[in-house]
Amino acid sequence: MFQRGIQIEKGRVGVMGAAGDVLRESGRVLVERMAEYLDTVAERPVSTPLAPSDLLGRFAEPLPREGRPAEVVWADVWERVVDDSIHLAHPMYMGHQVAPPLPHAVLADALTSLLNQSTAVWEMAPTGTGVEQQVVGWMRELLDFPPQSDGTLVSGGSAANLTGLLAAREATFPGAWRDGVQGSSQLERAAVFVADHAHYSIERALGVMGLGHGAGIRVAERDFRLDPAALERAIADARSRGRIPLAIVATGGSTATGLFDDLSAIADIARSESIWLHVDGAHGASFMASDRLRERLRGMERADSVSWDPHKMMFMPISAGAILVRDRRHLDSAFQQTAPYLFHPRPGESRSHDIGRRTLQCSKRFDALKIWISVQIHGLDHFARLQEHTVDRAAALFRKLQEADDFEPAHAPESNILCFRHLPVAWRDRPTEELDSLQNRLREVYNASGRGWITATVLGGRRVLRVTLMNPATTDDHLEALLQGLRDTAAGLTGSTGREPSRAGGESRR
Ligand SMILES: Cc1ncc(COP(=O)(O)O)c(C=O)c1O
């Protein structure tokens, strides 16, 4: 039955054809289909209308003891997996912060899999280590970090935030790695200052570190940003209660709104209070590529650690995250272990080339390759242009929302994320709860229609719709289509046209 590939057949290993031939034959067909997919993706519904109960049964089948021809399985993949995927390359995809990846990065990911270099260990990835060091070096340069800085690629922002806070913990409470919370009465009093809008992975990191949620001290926000004056008060109050600051967490491009904390003011406070500053730039740090956008991150260069996800605004496929630390000694001490079978000191090496000494992962994917290749092919300015396009679309959408009498922006955008509400004119005087649940239903029904795909969140206690314009193929026409799609959907839900005069007489809200 099998023509090609290495098979274990009837209890013995048999070579049924060269691996290269498998790639050549199946690869050609696959790449052609992938290209066709990209060419025609805009003609598809953005996502599946199927509910989990309808979809999951599709994959329930007995564990195959015998294989099937590769071409049959691959054809089946397109039907059962691809067709009902959410299509990030569709210009009406405006959902979570996951990018339609650059094609060269997709190809580079295939090469990463082919080589399968585990970049935790030098001897398993000599060139991989070099490439990762260079990519980290470029990031340090863009951050304007000092020569003693360092970093490592990680699986994403969550792992980066955990690593940054581990580095902060050891820097503030030396011996914490060894002694743990039980061994240190000081650590029990650790305080991490964080705003409500911080990504949930910060609280999760506190849980993982054994510090518990109580270690997080909530700092009040102003206009959906961490309020520096409130931060100063929170620090003074915590100190007066015997708490010991472990870190301040600021966000550079917050998840919900894409707004930037005042990193300069927060860095001033961190310096004067001698507290570790961690900037979660998972979303926004990539904007350092753009001379125009990097202004928003002013102050980040003074952070002690920065999370940065190229798999967000550098349009890389998952996974590609990074943690950068201002002083490499703190990254070295974040994880303190030996593993004699893996990490070998080499003559003349003052600091280990084994990246695994400085990261959680042991099997560590060679994610740096796709960044390295893409930056060389396109040049950094290309990334800046793509980013600026998406940020400019958010600004354009904001203007459209302001001009419309049936939409209400929740904030002015600073990045490619924007929250807003649809308030059909005839519904203006409805109670808050009804308007909140309308936003929820609207999103559900609009997404299920396949016309587009957006998200929702809660801001200031109100349900809001949220778009993240991740796709550089999205144009102003698509933004018009979004508003029209939401109006049509709302009309179906409310039985109104959405723009007719309100019962209150049709006066404008603005
Ligand atoms: C600000 C911020 N931090 C961290 C994360 C988590 O990143 P990842 O999904 O790569 O773990 C996100 C993801 O949305 C984010 O927006």
| Model pLDDT for residues 456-466, shown as the tens digit of each residue | 999 999 999 99
Among the listed residues 319, 314, 318, the one whose alpha carbon sits nearest the alpha carbon of residue 472: 314
Rounded distance, CA 104 to CA 375, Å?
10
Predicted local distance difference test score (pLDDT) of residue 386: 98
Q: How far is the CA of 264 from the centre of ligand 1 (A)?
A: 22
Q: Residue 336: how many CB atoms within 10 A of its CB?
A: 11
Instruction: With H, G, I as helix, E, B as strand and everything else as coil, classify residue 166.
Output: helix
Q: Is residue 103 part of a domain?
A: no
Pocket test for ligand 1, best of 158, 197, 203 (most atoms within 8 A of CB): 158
Enumerate residues lining ligand 1, CB below 6 A.
Answer: 97, 156-158, 161, 199, 201, 251, 255, 280, 282-283, 309, 321
Same-domain pairing of 456 and 425: yes
Among the listed residues 247, 239, 251, the one whose alpha carbon sits nearest the alpha carbon of residue 304: 247
Return the ligand 1 atom nearest residue 159 CA. 11
pLDDT level of residue 500 (50, 70, 90 thresholds): very low
Q: Residue 400: how many CB atoms within 10 A of its CB?
A: 17
CB distance 115 to 70 below 8 Å: no
Same-domain pairing of 131 and 226: yes
The tokens for 3 are 């023509």
Q: How far is the CA of 308 from the centre of ligand 1 (A)?
A: 9
Predicted local distance difference test score (pLDDT) of residue 14: 43
Same-domain pairing of 396 and 471: yes
Q: How far is the CA of 158 from the centre of ligand 1 (A)?
A: 6
Nearest CA to ligand 1 atom 6: 157
Same-domain pairing of 138 and 274: yes
Q: Which of 87, 120, 153 is the last residue of a domain?
A: 87
The tokens for 383 are 């990334």
**b (16+ CB within 10 A) / e for 402-421:** eebbbbbbbbebbbbbbbbb
Q: How far is the CA of 494 from the centre of ligand 1 (A)?
A: 35
Q: Is residue 72 part of a domain?
A: yes
**What is the mean pLDDT of the segment spanning 479-495?**
96
Q: How far is the CA of 260 from the centre of ligand 1 (A)?
A: 14
Partnered with residue 463 across adjacent β-strands are 458
Return the ligand 1 atom nearest residue 254 CA. 1
* CATH number assigned to the domain comprising residue 458: 3.90.1150.170
Nearest CA to ligand 1 atom 16: 255
Q: HSE, CB side, 13 Å, CA atoms: give it for residue 6.
A: 4
Return the ligand 1 atom nearest residue 97 CA. 14
The tokens for 130 are 């070099």
Same-domain pairing of 152 and 213: yes
User: Total structural domains in the chain?
Assistant: 3
Q: How far is the CA of 279 from the centre of ligand 1 (A)?
A: 12
Q: How far is the CA of 504 from the centre of ligand 1 (A)?
A: 43
Partnered with residue 13 across adjacent β-strands are 8
Predicted local distance difference test score (pLDDT) of residue 499: 53
Predicted local distance difference test score (pLDDT) of residue 264: 98
The tokens for 294 are 């990097």
Instruction: With H, G, I as helix, E, B as strand and everything else as coil, classify residue 415.
Output: coil
Q: Is pLDDT at 104 greater than 50 in this prediction?
A: yes
Same-domain pairing of 18 and 165: no
Rounded distance, CA 418 to CA 469, Å?
8
Q: How far is the CA of 161 from the centre of ligand 1 (A)?
A: 9
Q: Is residue 255 part of a domain?
A: yes
Rounded distance, CA 135 to CA 152, Å?
9
Q: Is residue 117 part of a domain?
A: yes
* Phi and psi, residue 487, nearest 5°: -65, -45
* CATH number assigned to the domain comprising residue 318: 3.40.640.10
Same-domain pairing of 374 and 438: no
pLDDT level of residue 74 (50, 70, 90 thresholds): very high
Q: Which of 34, 53, 87 is the last residue of a domain?
A: 87
Same-domain pairing of 256 and 328: yes
Instruction: With H, G, I as helix, E, B as strand and everything else as coil, classify residue 295.
Output: helix
Q: What is the pTM of this model?
A: 0.94
Q: How far is the CA of 67 from the centre of ligand 1 (A)?
A: 39
Residues 6+ apart with CB under 8 A from 15: 6
Q: Is residue 102 part of a domain?
A: no
Same-domain pairing of 259 and 307: yes
* CA angle in degrees (0–180, nearest 5) for 66-71-76: 85
Nearest CA to ligand 1 atom 5: 157
pLDDT level of residue 501 (50, 70, 90 thresholds): very low
Q: Is residue 93 part of a domain?
A: no
Return the ligand 1 atom nearest residue 160 CA. 11
Pocket test for ligand 1, best of 283, 360, 466 (most atoms within 8 A of CB): 283
Instruction: With H, G, I as helix, E, B as strand and everything else as coil, classify residue 362.
Output: coil
Q: How far is the CA of 156 from the centre of ligand 1 (A)?
A: 7
Same-domain pairing of 447 and 324: no
276: left (phi over 0), alpha (psi -120 to 50) or beta: beta
Return the ligand 1 atom nearest residue 198 CA. 1
| Domain ranges, residue 62 | 6-87
**Mean pLDDT, the chain, integer:** 93
Query: Which of 125-129, 379-383, 497-501 shows the lowest mean pLDDT across its residues?
Result: 497-501
Same-domain pairing of 121 and 136: yes
Span 158-196, pLDDT tens digits:
999 999 999 999 999 999 999 988 887 899 999 999 999
Pocket test for ligand 1, best of 199, 314, 470 (most atoms within 8 A of CB): 199
* CATH number assigned to the domain comprising residue 24: 1.20.1340
Q: Is residue 50 part of a domain?
A: yes
Q: How far is the CA of 202 from the centre of ligand 1 (A)?
A: 10
**Residue that is written with structure tokens 């021809």 in the block:** 69
pLDDT level of residue 276 (50, 70, 90 thresholds): very high
DSSP 8-state class, residue 84: T
Rounded distance, CA 310 to CA 295, Å?
19
Handedness of CA 276, 264, 328, 131 (dihedral sign): positive
Rounded distance, CA 39 to CA 363, Å?
35
Whole-angstrom CA distances from 51 to 41, 88, 340 are: 22, 19, 50
Q: Is residue 507 part of a domain?
A: no
Decide: residue 423, CB within 10 A, 0-12 exposed, 13-18 middle, 19+ buried. buried
Same-domain pairing of 372 and 490: no
